[in-house]
Amino acid sequence: MAFSIDGAAWGSPWRDVAVADKALLMLGTLFVGLSLPAWPVGPVIAVGLSVAALTLAKVPWGTWLGALLLPLTFVVTGVVSIALQVGGVADASTVWWSAGPFAVTAESVARAGTVLGRSIAGTCAVILFAVSTPMVDLVDAGRRMRIPGPALDVAALTYRLLFVLWESAVTIRSAQAARLGYVGFRRSVRSFGSLAAGVLVRAWERSRRLEQGLAGRGYTDDLRTLHHVRPHSPAFLALTTTWLLALVAVGTHGFGLLP
């Protein structure tokens, strides 16, 4: 999935949009989603950003859904725990279901619904930013914001090393599978242990070689890279402003959906 997200970010037409413009869209949507009622603002944000991701940012639908799957799984798990009360129930609560110490009330379901709506909206906003902005652009933007260089270097090198180690893990696993290393439970456990140990050793070795390489190049402060200056897009900013105003209108008046 990490490869798919990175590939979608590099191939997205929004790659040429300034990072600040996309950050305005993400942060503005997050602020509106947290400030206004979760319903119907949350579903409107989810649908609107999904349409924007699939049509304007040209993100493959499989990548979009796959990127949303894992965070939304955690969201749903948390929402269920909010809706299910454990222990006593207040006298004024409207009990929908109860069994022993467990109960589901109208108030707990309302709280869970609020968390669900805002979490879905926030997740869509952050994922859209991730699938349209490569890591190198974020690092470049961080340098212009005067974030300390060593912090950006650590983030960039860690990001790069994740891909290298993932490729190593896939290669080792393919070799083990070719030698029937995953036939049976005991062989699978032994092969997985060898895989983890091999990746750990390679991570250690690559980090040591990386440190030696940086020291050989006289690394003292930060890694200099080329700057990619992208001008602000008036059309993108206009669409973002229109989008945020529409969300405010939906949240405050609800187009008749709210009393």
3-state secondary structure 116-182: HHHHHHHHHHHHHHHCCCCHHHHHHHHHHCCCCHHHHHHHHHHHHHHHHHHHHHHHHHHHHHHCCCC
Q: What does the pLDDT read at residue 259?
A: 46
**Confidence grade of residue 155 (pLDDT, cut at 50, 70, 90):** confident
Share of the chain above pLDDT 90, in %: 38
Question: What token pair was written down for 137?
Answer: 């652009």
Predicted pLDDT of residue 256: 53
- For residue range 100-135, list pLDDT tens digits in order: 778 888 888 999 999 999 999 999 999 999 999 988
CA atoms of 259 and 250, how far apart (whole Å): 12
Q: Is the pTM of this model over 0.85?
A: no
When pLDDT is averaged across residues 230-249 and rounded to a whole number, the result is 92
Tokens found for residue 247: 């969300």
